[in-house]
Amino acid sequence: MRIYCDLMTLELKLRKVGNSVGLVLPKEALAHLKVQEGDTLTLTESQDGLRLTASDGEFAKTMATFESLNRRYRNALRELAK
């Protein structure tokens, strides 16, 4: 996996952590993302690949609302999309 920062490209190594696989971020990436140990990151799919961003509590709340409405109005949205 590669993280593309403004003028920085970092190659990261995946490591086994218990029954999972972890990604270790160097201090330069942590500084660029403005995160520290214990913070939550969001990995999203975009047109140009994957995007890793610092989680925003407001965004998470908005996405939860969207997912709830999407489930509730699934059939209506499907019809509108035709």
Rounded to whole angstroms, how far apart are CA atoms 36 and 55? Answer: 12
Interval 42-54: pLDDT, tens: 888 888 888 888 8
pLDDT at 22: 92
Has residue 6 got a pLDDT over 70?
A: no
Mean pLDDT for the chain overall: 84
Question: Within the chain, where are the H helices?
Answer: 27-33, 57-72, 74-81
Annotated domain spans of the chain: 1-39
Has residue 3 got a pLDDT over 80?
A: no
Has residue 18 got a pLDDT over 90?
A: yes
pTM of the model: 0.53
pLDDT at 17: 92
Q: Is 39 exposed, middle or buried (0-12, 13-18, 19+ CB in 10 A)?
A: exposed
pLDDT at 14: 92
Higher-scoring residue by pLDDT: 73, 10: 73
Q: Phi, psi (5° rounding) for residue 75?
A: -65, -40
